[in-house]
Amino acid sequence: MSQNDRTQLIPDPQQPSRHAAGVQSPRPIAPSHGQQRDAANASQRPNQQRQQRQQRQQHQANGNAPKQPPTHARGDRGPARKSAGNNKSGKKTTLFVVLGLIVIVYIVGVVAFSQVAYPNTIIAGVDVSFSNASSAATKVNSAWKHYKLTVTGDDFSWTYQPESNEPIVDGEAAAKEIISHNEAFVWPVRLVESLSGKTKTTATSNEVDLDQDVDLSMLSDTFDQKKFEKDLGAAIDEFNEGRSGTFEANSSYDEQAGKFTVEKARSNEKLNREHVIKYAELELASLAETVDLSKLGNDAYEPLNGTLTDDQIQAACNAANNFLGVNVTLKLNGEDAGKVDGSSVLQWISFADPANPTLDTSQISSWAAELANGFNTVGSTRWWTRADGKQCAVEGGDFGWSIDSSSLAKQVEDAINNKQTGEIEIKYSQKADTFTAKGEPDWKAYVDVDLSEQHARYYDENGNIVWEANFISGKPGEDATPEGVWQINSNDGGSTLIGAKDPETGKPKYESPVSYWMPFEGNMIGFHDATWQNDKSFDNAESYKWCGSHGCINLRLADAKALHDCIKVGLCVVVHS
C-alpha cells in the first residue's frame, strides 16, 4: 500500500463519520506537509516498537537484562545511597560463616581426640603423641624396657625398673585407658595443656586419695606386685633407721637458725611404709614415671610420737625456745671456766610430755656436779717440776679449789629462767691461788717439804728460794708425816703441843711447849721448833726413822723463827716424797 493509499484511510474531519446510526462523520481535511511527515513517522513507530520488543526478548533469553538508565526524581542532586540494612545483612552472613567453621573444627577435634592421644602423651616412657590405641600399643610393646618409676621425697629416693625379659606393660590396655581419659569434648583446653608439657598417662589431682583401689589392669601378668612392695618397703625401712620418730630436743634444734623449728623437728619423722607403697602403686597403675611424696603431705610420714600435729609441734617449739635466751660466761677467780648458751641448754630440756617441754633440773645438777669435779682440786693429784728441775707428784691435802655443785646448778638454772647474759662468778667454798687445768699446780708461792731429802724450801711466785732448812719428819708408821697439798692455818708464835691421852694413865702422852707453832693439817700437824732434838740429827736424812716426831716437821729454833717471820696464813705447803 502506497502512502497515498494509507492517507486515504485517515478520516476527513470535515466529513461525518459513519456510525451504526447511519450518520457519517465529516470528511477529513488533507494534512499539511508537516502533518504528512508526522504521519509518516507515526506509521513507522509500530515497526520500531516491534523490533525493540524482539531485541529485549532476545537479550532476556540470553540472560542479559537490558540496562536501564538511572532515573532521577525531580529535585535529586546526586546518586542514590546504599541502605544500612544491606550492611547489617552482610555482617550477619560473615558471622554465621565464622561460627560454622568453628563448629566444624570443634566437631572434628572431638572425633579426633576421642580416638588418638594428645601431644606429649607418655606411656611407660614412650611418646605416643597423636597415636590411636593400636599404634600406641605397638610403640609401647616394642619399647617397654625404657620404663622406670622413681619415688622421691625429702632425702628418700628409690627407683623401680622391670627386670623381666617379658613386658610388664599391656600396651593395648594402657593405650585404651589413656585415650578413654582424653575428655574429647574439652579438647581445646586439654590440647593447650598437653602442648605446655609432658602429659601424664591418666588424669590426676594435686591431692592423693589413698582410699581408692589400686587398678593394675594396664600391667601384664609378668609384673610381680609382691616383689615390688617388698623392695620398696626395704628401702623405706632403711631410710627410717636413722630417724627416731619422736619429737626430741637434739633433732628439733636448728643450729643455723639458733632455735627449735617445726621443719627441723619433722626431719626426725619416719616414712609411713603403707602410705608410700600405696601411692607408688597408684602411680604405677597409671604408668607414671615419678612419684613425688610431697603430694602426700603429712600422709607420707608417721606423726611424731604418734600424736603430735604440726600446730602442737609449733607450740612445743615455742615453749622450748623460751629456754634459749641465756648467754653467760662462767668465771672462776676471774678466769673463763665455761659458757652456758642455747646450745648447752638443749640437753636440759625435757620432752617427756612432747607438747609441754620443761627444764630438767636433775640434768642441770648432774652437769654442775661434773663441771665442779673438773674444777675441784682439793685432794687431787698434782704434777709439777720444781725450780731445781726435780719432777714431783703428790696426792691428798686440803688446799685447792672446792666448788659447791648445788650452788652452781642453782646459779645456772636462775640464769636460764631469767634469760641472763654476761658473766657469772662461780661460787666456791674454798679457793686456791690460781685456776688452772686439773692436775697442774694451783699454787703460786709455797713451801716444798721433801720427805725423801728431809729438806724444806720456801719458793716465792717466781721460783726463788726465800727460806730453806733441814728437818726431822714423823717416825715411819702411825706417826708418819701425811703427804698432800696443805696450807698454813695459823702463825701465832708459841704454843704447847699436847699429845693424845694415854689410856692407862688418862693423861696426855706428852706436853711440849714450843716457841713457834705453824700448823698446816688442821691444828694437829705443822712446823715448830724442837729444841729436844739432837742438833746433829737435823743433818742426817735417816734420823727420822729412829727419832722422828709424831708427824710434825721439827726444825732448829733459828730455822723455825726465820720461817715464822716470812710466811702468812694461807701459804701453800706441799709435802711429798
CA–CA gap between residue 240 and residue 300 (Å, rounded): 12
Q: Which of 528, 550, 564, 576 is catalytic?
A: 528
Q: Does the domain formed by 322-378+399-430 have CATH 3.10.20.800?
A: yes
Asked if 201 and 122 touch (Cβ cutoff 8 Å), the reply is yes
Comparing CA positions, the residue from 239, 240, 262, 242 lying closest to residue 252 is 262
C-alpha cell at 472: 726431822
Helical H segments across 286-402, by residue range: 310-321, 342-345, 361-375
Kindly give the residue spans of alpha helices, DSSP state H, lying in 404-542: 405-417
pLDDT at 420: 94
**What does the CA dihedral 101, 105, 107, 110 come to, rounded to 10 degrees?**
-160
Cell numbers describing residue 550: 709424831
Distances in Å between the Cα of 236 and the Cα atoms of 271, 275, 283, 307, 308 are 7, 11, 17, 21, 22
Q: Predicted confidence band at 146 (pLDDT cuts at 50, 70, 90)?
A: low
In angstroms and rounded to an integer, the radius of gyration of the C-alpha atoms of the chain is: 62
Considering only residues 101 and 308, tell me which one the structure prediction assigns the higher pLDDT.
101
Long-range contact pairs involving 71-76 (C-beta distance under 8 Å, separation at least 24): none
pTM: 0.52
**Residue 84: its pLDDT value, please?**
56
pLDDT for 473 beyond 80:
yes
Domain boundaries of the chain, sorted by first residue? 122-228, 244-320, 322-378+399-430, 446-576
Decide which of 378 and 143 is more confident. Answer: 378
Cα 319 versus chain centre, distance = 20
Pick the CATH number of 446-576 from 3.30.360.10, 1.20.1250.20, 2.40.440.10, 3.40.50.1820: 2.40.440.10
Q: What's CA 573's distance to the chain center, in Å? A: 60
**pLDDT for 40:** 42
Q: How far is CA 358 from CA 265, 348, 361, 412, 416, in A?
A: 17, 8, 9, 15, 12
Amino acid 125: pLDDT: 60
What is the pLDDT at residue 385? 96
Share of the chain above pLDDT 70, in %: 79
187-195 and 84-113 helices cross at what angle (nearest 10)?
70
> Which of 566 and 201 is assigned the larger pLDDT?
566
3-state helix, strand, coil in the chain (%, to 5): 35, 20, 40
For the chain, how long is the longest CA-to-CA vector?
220
The single residue of 552, 564, 572, 576 carrying the catalytic annotation is 552
pLDDT at 234: 95
Does position 390 have pLDDT exceeding 90, yes or no? yes
| 552 catalytic per annotation | yes
77 CB contacts (<8 Å, ≥6 apart)?
none
